[in-house]
Structure 1
C-alpha cells in the first residue's frame, strides 16, 4: 500500500525570491536525479519570478525512489505558493515533467513548462514491487509496464529503446496511462531533444501537442535534433549526478535549445 502523504520538509525545499516581483510564482522540480533545482530557481527569481524548488523523492519522509509518490505532495506545495503570488505555474523535467502535467490536470495553473516530458505515466520498483510512479487519494495511477525481455546494449545504458518498445506493447495499458492533458486549460510549453537517449521525449511531446490540439488548447513545442535529455537554460551549469546513463545531446545543442525556449518561458511564468 502507498505510504501516507507527508509534506515537503524544509531541508527538501529551496525558496527563491525576486528583488522585483512580477507576481508570478513557480513550483519547480527535477526528474530522476532527485536533486533540488536551486540554480534554476535562482535564475528564474533573478527575472522577477517567485520560485519554490522541491525534492519529491529521497527526502525526509518521502518515498526512496519514484514509486507511488503521492500527487498531493505537489498539490500541497502549489496551493501554498498560490497564497503568496498573483498566479502560479509549474515547471518539471523528465519524471518531474510527468508529475507537472498530471498535477496541472488536478489544479488550475497559469502555465506549465515540461522539459523532456512523457505523455503517459510510468512505473517504478521499490523492494521488488513494481507500481505506478504516482498515487492519488492513496491509489496508484494507471501506468505503462516495461518490456520484461529488454536488455541494455550500452554501458552506461541508454533506455530509449526500452521506453519505445514498452510504449507500444499494450495499447490498452498505454491508453489507460495516458495523461489527460486536455484537462489543462493553461498554456503548455514543451521542450524535447531529438537526440534524447533516455526516452522518446520528441514522440511524447508530439502526442501531447496532438491531444491538446484536438481540444483547441494552446501548446508550444521547442525541439532541436542535436539536443539530448537535459535542457540547459542561459547561464546554467552543466548538470551532473543522477543515475549513470546516456542522455544524448551535447552542451552546445542543449544550450541552443535552452536559449530558444528561454524568452517564451519567462513570458509564460511571469
Structure 2
C-alpha cells in the first residue's frame, strides 16, 4: 500500500554551474536531502528524484560526468564533485544528507560516505566492492591506458584494471554480458583487487545494499555481501536486500521498467527487478529519512 507522502506536490529546479543536475523537492520542503547518482549509462535520474520527492525527500539528481567542465567519461572523476552536491543540499536546508546510487553511482556513493563524513546514509543499488578502472575518457580525451575512475584531493584512488584481451561473446539472444569480464579481471589482478577495496567499515553511515543474483553487468550480489561482511566484522549493521533472479537494474515502486538494450544484457526480468525494488523500498525510505 502506498503511503500518503508519495502523493506530495513537488517542485523542480534545474541546477547549473559548478554543480549540475536537477533538484526536486516537496512543495512543503524537506529536512532530508539525498544525492541521486546515475550509473555509467549517463544522466537519467529525474524520474527517480520525483519518486523520492513525492516520498518527502529533497532529491538532487547530480550530473557528474559528461557535462560542461567535466570528464567526458568515468575517468578520474573528482569525488569532490559529490561533496559539492552535499554542499548544495545543505545550503537548500537539508539537515540530513544521504546518497543513493546505481552501479558506478553506487561506487561513488560508497566512497563519498567514507571520505565525507556528513553522509548519514547510502543506498547502493547493484554496487561493486572495489574501485574499477575507468569507463571512457578523462579530461585529456584518452581512455587508455587504464586509470582510476575517481580522484580525491587530486590523487587517483587505487583501482582494478580490466583484462584488455577480453572479447565479448554474444549470447543466444545476441546480447553481451560483461559480468565475466569483471570476474576474470579479479582473478587476473588479485593484488590490485585487494588494494582497491572500498573500506565500507570506515564509515558510520547507514548502508542499504540492494543486489540481484542474476546481475549480468558485474557480480553485484557477491560484492554487496562482501561489503556487508566487512562492516559486520567491525560491529556496523548493514541492510542487504537481495533477490536471486533479479538483474542489474532494480526498479523502485512507481518506476517504469528499464528500457531494453539492443547490446548489453543486464540480467533479471521486469518482474524480478520490480520485486527486488519493492522489497528494498521501506529500507530505502527509513535510511534516507532517518530517525
With over 3 angstroms needed to count, the CA separation of the structure-2 counterparts of 1:106 and 1:148, relative to structure 1, is same
Aligned residue number for residue 212 of structure 2? 193
1:258 counterpart = 2:277: yes
Deviation at 1:242, TM superposition (A): 8.0
Which of the residues 71, 84, 92 maps onto 2:101? Answer: 92
Q: Secondary structure at the match of 1:190?
A: strand
User: Which 10-residue stretch deviates more, 71-80 or 16-25?
Assistant: 16-25
Q: TM-score, normalised by structure 2?
A: 0.86
5 Å-filtered alignment, 1:52-91, equals 52-83=60-91, 84-91=93-100
Give yes or no for the alignment of 1:118 onto 2:124: no
The question of whether the paired residues in 1 share the 8 Å contact of 2:19 and 2:85 is answered with: no
Deviations 1:6-42 (A, max 9, x none): x963894111111344521101111011113000101
Alignment of 1:229-244 (within 5 A): 229-240=248-259, 244=263
- TM-score relative to the length of structure 1: 0.93
Runs of 5+ unmatched residues, structure 1: 1-6
Question: Does structure 2 conserve the Cα–Cα contact (< 8 Å) formed by 1:28 and 1:90?
Answer: yes
* Residue 218 (structure 2) pairs with residue 202 (structure 1): no
Q: 2:154 corresponds to which residue?
A: 138
Q: Which of 27, 34, 38 is matched with 1:19 structurally?
A: 27
Structural RMSD (CA) = 1.8
8 Å Cα contact 1:33-1:243 kept in structure 2: no
Three-state SS of the structure 2 residue aligned to 1:105 is helix
For 1:212, the equivalent position in structure 2 comes to 231
Q: 2:98, 2:121 within 8 Å by CA — same for their partners in 1? A: yes
**In the superposition, relative to structure 1, how do residues 243 and 175 fare at CA in structure 2: closer, same or farther (>3 Å)?**
farther
In the alignment, the residues of structure 1 paired with residue 154 and residue 18 of structure 2 have an alpha-carbon distance, to the nearest angstrom, of 24
CA distance in structure 2 between the aligned counterparts of 1:40 and 1:144, rounded to whole angstroms: 30
Query: Whose relative contact order is higher, 1 or 2, with alpha carbons under 8 Å and at least 6 apart?
Result: 1
- For the Cα contact (< 8 Å) 1:123–1:144, is it kept in 2? yes
Contact 1:190 1:222 in 2 (8 A): yes
